[in-house]
């Protein structure tokens, strides 16, 4: 699942906890003992990662299905 999965509108979000703008950085995602890296919007202070509904229901759901079918 490597790649840039951020959208320009994602970078208009601010972290509610830290009150700073999100920036795109590599994030490590794990599912069923598998690790993947993707560039996602994150808070540069606390590390909160924003995963859009589109990404969660699209590409991430596809990857989950592939891993579950193994």
Q: 């601010």: which residue's tokens?
A: 14
Note the pLDDT tens digit of each residue in 4-38: 656 666 668 899 999 999 999 998 887 777 788 88
**Which architecture characterizes domain 8-69 according to CATH?**
Roll (3.10)
From CA 20, how far away is CA 6, in angstroms rounded?
17
Q: What is the pTM of this model?
A: 0.67
Please provide the DSSP assignment of the chain as one string: --SB---GGGGG-B-TTT--B-EEEEEEEEETTEEEEEEEEE-TTT--B---HHHHHTHHHHHHHHHHH-
């Amino acid at each position: 699942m490597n790649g840039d999965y951020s959208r320009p509108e994602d970078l208009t979000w601010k972290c509610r906890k830290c009150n700073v703008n999100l920036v795109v950085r590599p994030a490590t995602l794990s599912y069923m003992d598998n690790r993947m890296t993707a560039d996602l919007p994150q808070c540069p202070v606390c590390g909160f990662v924003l995963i859009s509904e589109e990404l969660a229901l699209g590409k991430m759901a596809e990857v989950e299905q592939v891993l579950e079918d193994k």
